[in-house]
Amino acid sequence: MIVSRPLSTEHISVRDLSEQDVPLMLDYWYRSPPGFVERMGVDLSKLPTEAEMARGTLQNITDNCLLSTSKLHALAITCDGRTVGVHTLFPLIEGDHGIFHAHVWNPTFRNRGLGLRSYPKACQVFFERFDLKRILFKTPVQNIGAIRVKEKLGIPCIGEELIDFGIIRAGTRAKVFELLSGESSIKSSAQSSQSPFKSSQRIDLQNILH
């Protein structure tokens, strides 16, 4: 078994998705190993064609460049300057809430502590950029890694629901997590002894970011 070493966390960052990231995104969605995309809870019949996804994403990036401040809802995750994945916010109601997504495109960067650093950084950008009251995470119950990241960050789980939005398979059961703005803090609900946070602690986003 190959054991990957943890990543050096100070080199993990987020920035607006750019044109040169798009081929990596397309490889992830259209050339991942068979069954990978479906296991995440995606309905392949809802996935746009590769050309449509490329065109739509490039259009969003180009349109955003015309704005005085960025309104892009896709942030590339970088490690040592190399793009390894993306955080997106969709659906989004500016001034209220958005649903957060995470995809580490490069499999060699998964399960090495990247998400624990990139989620808080991306949330901070999205809170400020879209003046959000809360960020929701609706994670299919079978996505153990994605659920574990929220638990380790101490983001409260507020229930479960059947989801059906975007490219998600209708009726997918998901755990719902909610991160509130306001105090810019994360209320820890993590019970695991491996959690860096105690359950009663209020965690300032800044503590996680630095």
Ligand X SMILES: CC(C)(COP(=O)(O)OP(=O)(O)OC[C@H]1O[C@@H](n2cnc3c(N)ncnc32)[C@H](O)[C@@H]1OP(=O)(O)O)[C@@H](O)C(=O)NCCC(=O)NCCS
Q: Summarize as ranges the residues that interact with ligand X (CB under 6 A).
A: 40, 85, 102-104, 110-116, 139-140, 143-146, 148-149, 152, 194
Cβ closer to ligand X: 68 or 193? 193
Cβ closer to ligand X: 110 or 187? 110
As measured in angstroms, the least distance from the Cβ of 66 to ligand X is 31
As measured in angstroms, the least distance from the Cβ of 197 to ligand X is 12
* CB 99, CB 138: distance < 8 Å: yes
As measured in angstroms, the least distance from the Cβ of 81 to ligand X is 17
CA distances in angstroms from 11 to 145, 186, 196, listed in the order given: 21, 23, 20
Q: How many CB atoms lie within 10 A of CB 57?
A: 19
Cβ closer to ligand X: 140 or 154? 140
As measured in angstroms, the least distance from the Cβ of 77 to ligand X is 9
Cβ closer to ligand X: 98 or 140? 140
